[in-house]
Every structure is written in structure tokens, then in C-alpha cells.
Structure 1
Amino acid sequence: MKKLLLPLIGLVALLAGAGGGYFLRPHSAAEAEPPPEETVVPPDYVKLNNQFVVPVLEKGRVVSMVILSLSLEVVPGTSERVYEIEPKLRDAFLQVLFDHSNAGGFRGSFTDGANLVLLRKALLEAAQAILTDKVSDVLIVEIVRQDS
């Protein structure tokens, strides 16, 4: 009996150690529970009421007109505030658009991606100067140039 007892105790200890190791092992990423989903609140989009009309000048004469429609990507719940201060936003945007026009931004291939990136960046900076962290992007919804 003593000869059987020692191997049996060894076998039980071996199985207990293997079982403990299995249950106490670190879990892999595939077995880990997924983290709880975070609620992502989508932004609000505010379309400004009227289009922007920007003259393109050459030698003091209007050679074309650029017409744009803009929308703002804002923090949810900010739409009413945007409409309250729209006159101030329009003034700031018109200054940016006139500067862009005077720098030649609406001549030639005015819808070139790099050209529009610069314009969007300048418009966003103007919007953030007024709305601080409430606005995250300025979207050019429509743009057209009418040559005379």
C-alpha cells in the first residue's frame, strides 16, 4: 500500500499544480472581455443661412465672382449659439475670403486640394477665435466661380 500511496500523492499534486496554473494563467487579448463601449456623440452641423459672395479683382476691376456656402461642425447643442452670433461669424469669414481672393486664391485652379486646405484652415481659425473650442471644422459645402 505504501508503494501505491507515494505515486498517487505525486500524481494528485501534479494534477493540482497543472489545474492551478491553467486557471491562474494570464489571459490573452482574444480571451479578455472587451471594454465597455464608449458612447460617441456625433457633432452638430450648422449650415450658415446665406451664401458668401466674393469678388475676384484684377487691376482694380472685378473679373469674376466666387460664391460659397459654408457649414460648421460644432459641439452638440451649440447650433443656437452659432445662429445668435452668425453676423460676427460672417464678418470674420468674409475677411478671410477677401484676403484669400486678394492673394490670388480664387484664380486659376481655385478648387485644387492644397488651395482649399489653406482656405479651410484660415476659416477654422476665424471661427475658433469667436466660438473657441465649440467648432471643430468649417465645411465648404458649395463653391462656384462666375467669370465675367
Structure 2
Amino acid sequence: MKKLLPLLLALIGTGAGIGAGLFLAPGTGGDDHASGTGAEASAHDAAPPDDGTGAEGHGAPADHGSAVSAGADHGDAAEGHGAETEFVKLNNQFVVPVVADSRVVALVVLAISLEVTAGSAAGVFEEEPKLRDSFLRTLFDHANIGGFDGNFTETPRMDALRRVLFEAARNALGARVKNVLITDIARQDN
């Protein structure tokens, strides 16, 4: 009996979970949801009327997110090239010392990825030592001008850092680099 009770409770719990999932699943059957979310679901599911231009949902941020992040940059799309891109995560993090009064007062650790033209990943890895050297020089310069002091994650400061890293990547790898992404950043004070 002691072994049967946990099994019975597990089956009841599983059945209740499946039943709740079926009951609360969006777009099931022709009935409105009995839980009072029918109005919310129908307002959410309602699509804007099609005006025949094929531009449905224009202006909605969710409609444009995946195309911008995974597709071509704006310049290529405007020219009609439509080049695909891929992401390359650099193998190791970058560790940057923050120096004040001739001593290291903090360490900043960054993980960087690159958005490059499709098929360029192998070339990026072949030239990674040159790229890492260029990035480290840029990061050391950024640290030496106080870029990692105070609230270093403010948008203008991060934009400035991305811009100089992008210039360094373009100098090292050429036009195949489309964007530099800082995927992780942390500062540890000593």
C-alpha cells in the first residue's frame, strides 16, 4: 500500500496537468475560454485587416524583431542584396584590468560575438588571434580613459564601446563583419 500511494498521486497529478494544459491552451476548439480569458484571447488573436498591400502588422515591434536580428543589415536590404548573416562566438572571454593609482582596482570580463556575412565563420576563427589582439588594445584604451568606471553599463557608454569594437573588427576582418555583440559583461572590484 505504501508503494501504491505515491504512484497514484503521480498519476493524478499528471492527469490534472494534462487536463489543465488542454483546457487553457490557446486556439483550441470553437468555444470561448470558460475561464474568462476569451475576450483577452480574441483581442490578442485578432489580426489587423488586410488592405491588399501585403503589409500586415506594420509597426508592431514583434513583427520586425527576427528579420532585423537574423537577416541582412539595413544597408544591404535597401540595396536589394539581402545577404544572410551568421553569429560567431569568440572562444574565450576578454579580461580587462582597471588601473587606478598604479594598481589594479578591478577586472572587467567580457564575452563578445560577431555578426558576420554567411559563410565567414571559418575565416573569423582563422584570424581570431589578430582579432583578439585588436579587441584587447581597444578594451585597454577604453579602460584607460575611464570607460569602465562608475556606471559603465549606461547606454551611451556601451554604444561607444560597441562602436570602437566594431571599428577594430572591421580593421582586422574587413567588410564581412556586420556587428559586434557584447553578450556578457561583468566587473569585479578588488
Matches within 5 A, 1:1-80: 40-80=82-122
1:124 aligns with 2:124: no
Q: Deviations over 1:3-27 (max 9, x none)?
A: xxxxxxxxxxxxxxxxxxxxxxxxx
Gaps of 5+ in 2: 1-50, 56-79
Indicate the residue corresponding to 1:141 in structure 2: 183
1:110 aligns with 2:148: no
Extract structure 1 runs of 4+ deviating beyond 2 A.
30-34, 38-42
3-state SS in 2 of match to 1:120? helix
Structure-2-length-normalised TM-score: 0.57
- CA–CA distance in 2 between the matches of 1:105 and 1:32? 48
Identity, % of aligned positions: 49
Q: Deviations over 1:31-68 (max 9, x none)?
A: 7899xxx8945310000000000000101110000000
- CA–CA distance in 2 between the matches of 1:91 and 1:64? 21
- CA–CA distance in 1 between the matches of 2:188 and 2:53? 60
Of the two, which has the highest radius of gyration?
Answer: 1
| Higher relative contact order (CA closer than 8 Å, sequence separation 6+) | 1
1:97 aligns with 2:126: no
Q: Pick the structure with more strand per residue.
A: 1
Q: 1:131 Cα shift?
A: 1.3
3-state SS in 2 of match to 1:105? coil
Question: RMSD over aligned Cα, in angstroms?
Answer: 2.1
